[in-house]
Amino acid sequence: MTKHVFQTEVNELLHLIIHSLYSHKEIFLRELVSNASDALDKLKYLTLTEDEFKKINFDPKVEISFNDSAEDRSITIKDSGIGMNEEDLIEHLGTIARSGTKNFLGKLTGDDKKDSNLIGQFGVGFYSCFMVADQVEVITRKAGEKEAYRWISDGKSGFEIEPTAKKEAGTEITLYLNDEGKEFANRWSITETLKKYSNHIAFPVYLSYEESQFDGEGEDKKEIKELKTEQINDATAFWKKPKSELKKKDYNEFYKTFSNDFADPALHVHTQAEGAMDYTTLFFVPEKAPQDLFYADYKPGVKLYVKRVFITDDEKELLPTYLRFVKGIIDSEDLPLNVSREILQQNRVLDNIRKASVKKLLKSFQTLAKKEKEYIKFYEEFGRPIKEGYYQDRDNRELLEKLVRFKSTKVEGYTTLEDYVKRMQEDQKGIYYITGDNEATLRRSPLIEMYMQKDIEVLIADDEIDEIIIPGAAKYGDHDFKSVNRSNAGDELKKEGEVEEETNEKETAPFIKKVKKVLGDRVKDVKVSSRLTDSPSVLVADADDPTFQMQEMMRAMGQAGMPDAKPILEINLGHPILKKMSGMRKTKDFDNATELLYEQALLLEGMKLENPADFVKRLNDVLTKSL
């Protein structure tokens, strides 16, 4: 017998499950039956494709039984699936591999630890059985191997594994029920829970129970217990049922059986194609974004089936990456069963299904967009991946540009690009946008003062990926996207003769030189601004340099070696401060004023000051003098 401890994250997950899911404790059955069904799927595939497995006598089923005697209440879930060897047991029932789940656990604070909706966003899986059991035993034998193993755990101290004997391949899990779980040692609650959560499992699920009959009369009356077995589910592939027979409620139920989600999906798209291509797809968009949406090792949401045989749930190419939040199934009639991963990735049949699926999904999002409120709810969850698609998927550009939304100076909430263009001024040179990470700061940024004054709309691009996707998109229709964060932005807004002071370069040159001398190599240049009206100064990136936010993002992503691109300080010569400064000699007061112009511009960009103490001292000096 070998002892093992749970990985730290498993302990955290166990704690979370037990303390936050108690109002949904019956889901343990859904999780275990769905694992059993996955195990059957995997073995079925091998028996159809691998010679050494073809000869085994495979009878796919899930069998559930229970013991309701008061001192020994338990429930057993048995499957004839792929099973696990010792290594599998340690890896699958002792660790959490995915970084999305790990990170999610790390981020939880005391308050949300009670929120079962949060935890519903990722699969709680096997560990949920510790909500109802104080001891769990797994006896399992991997198909094609001789050894069987017994795994046992109290869900607290870790687990033990020892060799054991088992006749057939598969897994048998027994839960020794605690007070929370004792109500499940009962025919009716098991049946009800299975019907609710596992009705659409594609393999038969049987429940065995004892039925009492009485023989004789009075003193001689004898109780005879008879063992009965009943199939609980209808065991057909849900997606093959005629669409006309299915109601929204049925789709919602099916979604829950395979997605591990507690909530109803936001929408479903069911396609049964016949003719040139013969396939079925059933896709769902969850209400909430999955926790691992932004991790490279995210779990793909789409399962591939061939003629109702499960092939894989770990193929990221079934849909483009930007649609990774979509869950569902693809079932093809035209693929061979033993498709290898290499074949999958460049298979024409699959490629056609993928293309058609993407169009269908994007069109269904467009239909959703007709209902503004619902669409915004969707967009707040999945706007980012949609924008990724806008950037990546040139083939569907026309559909995607109707789906992206941006905040804007002219509207509350979001605007479409189409509406922005409708509001453009007659001689407007492009679609203006400002990037940064804080909406409130951007809305008050000196960079857009001139646009506001001229009543020109500016998109508020406060999502960090906007920095990449908007320049990447480059154009909407005939209109160029123009960043207002660059040093040359605003020049084109200037009308001739409008800004007289700055045209006289000769006069301003010595002044600019003095300012530059104070700031040294902290700035790339100092320029007279053509766009400021109320603010004295602003920091911008040079026309071809990455913006500050972009630089921060690159640093955060570990892109070392990127040279720091220094900002340009733009100053507003029309501002009273600058007017006063232009007549001054380069004294301590001049230096202080210059530093303050630079520092306030940094603050407005949402950047950190290099030395806050110096800033405060300077500010206090100025205050003292002025009071």
Shortest reach from residue 103's CB to ligand ADP, in Å: 16
Measured from the CB atom, the residue of 33 and 528 that comes closer to ligand ADP is 33
- Helices 466-473 + 548-556 axis angle, to 10: 120
Element (H, E) at 433: strand 431-435
> What is the C-alpha separation between 553 and 545, in angstroms, rounded?
14
Shortest reach from residue 8's CB to ligand ADP, in Å: 16
Q: By the 8 A CB rule, do 124 and 260 touch?
A: yes
H-type helices in 93-137, by residue range?
99-107, 116-119
> What is the C-alpha separation between 325 and 513, in angstroms, rounded?
54
Provide the Cα torsion 314, 315, 321, 324; round to 10°: -40
Measured from the CB atom, the residue of 88 and 437 that comes closer to ligand ADP is 88
Residue 577 identity (one-letter amino acid): I
Shortest reach from residue 62's CB to ligand ADP, in Å: 9
Measured from the CB atom, the residue of 27 and 400 that comes closer to ligand ADP is 27
- State the SS3 of 359-389: HHHHHHHHHHHCCHHHHHHHHHHHHHHHHHH
Measured from the CB atom, the residue of 135 and 533 that comes closer to ligand ADP is 135
Shortest reach from residue 555's CB to ligand ADP, in Å: 34
Measured from the CB atom, the residue of 61 and 241 that comes closer to ligand ADP is 61
Measured from the CB atom, the residue of 96 and 523 that comes closer to ligand ADP is 96
- State the SS3 of 518-561: HHHHHCCEEEECCCCCCCCEEEEECCCCCCHHHHHHHHHCCCCC
Measured from the CB atom, the residue of 66 and 432 that comes closer to ligand ADP is 66
Measured from the CB atom, the residue of 85 and 191 that comes closer to ligand ADP is 85
> What is the C-alpha separation between 164 and 172, in angstroms, rounded?
12
How many angstroms separate the Cα of 159 from the Cα of each of 90, 93, 140? Answer: 9, 9, 15
Please give the angle made by the CA atoms of 405, 406 and 412, to the nearest 5 degrees.
Answer: 105
Q: By the 8 A CB rule, do 493 and 533 touch?
A: no
Shortest reach from residue 430's CB to ligand ADP, in Å: 48
At a CB cut-off of 8 Å and minimum separation 6, what does 359 contact?
A: 396, 399
Shortest reach from residue 327's CB to ligand ADP, in Å: 13
- Reduced to 3 states (helix: H, G, I; strand: E, B; else coil), residue 570 is strand
| 279: nearest Cα among 338, 339, 354, 343 | 354
Measured from the CB atom, the residue of 254 and 390 that comes closer to ligand ADP is 254
Measured from the CB atom, the residue of 125 and 536 that comes closer to ligand ADP is 125
> What is the C-alpha separation between 292 and 105, in angstroms, rounded?
12
At a CB cut-off of 8 Å and minimum separation 6, what does 265 contact?
A: 251, 252, 255, 259, 284, 285, 286, 287, 327
Measured from the CB atom, the residue of 246 and 309 that comes closer to ligand ADP is 309
- Which residue is nearest to ligand ADP, using beta carbons? 125
Shortest reach from residue 215's CB to ligand ADP, in Å: 39
> What is the C-alpha separation between 399 and 405, in angstroms, rounded?
13
Shortest reach from residue 92's CB to ligand ADP, in Å: 3
Measured from the CB atom, the residue of 171 and 435 that comes closer to ligand ADP is 171
Residue 164 gets which letter from DSSP? E
Shortest reach from residue 172's CB to ligand ADP, in Å: 9
Measured from the CB atom, the residue of 127 and 239 that comes closer to ligand ADP is 127
Shortest reach from residue 4's CB to ligand ADP, in Å: 15
Q: Which residues bind ligand ADP (CB under 6 A)?
A: 31, 35-36, 39, 79, 81-84, 92-93, 123, 125-127, 171
Element (H, E) at 148: strand 148-153
**Burial zone of 140 (CB within 10 Å; 0-12 exposed, 13-18 middle, 19+ buried):** buried
Shortest reach from residue 280's CB to ligand ADP, in Å: 24
Residue 315, CB half-sphere, CA atoms under 13 Å: how many? 24
> What is the C-alpha separation between 100 and 122, in angstroms, rounded?
9
Partners of residue 479 on adjacent β-strands: 476
> What is the C-alpha separation between 564 and 545, in angstroms, rounded?
10
**What radius of gyration, in Å, describes the C-alpha atoms of the chain?**
32
Shortest reach from residue 46's CB to ligand ADP, in Å: 13
Shortest reach from residue 67's CB to ligand ADP, in Å: 20
Shortest reach from residue 301's CB to ligand ADP, in Å: 12
Q: By the 8 A CB rule, do 584 and 558 touch?
A: no
Measured from the CB atom, the residue of 84 and 528 that comes closer to ligand ADP is 84
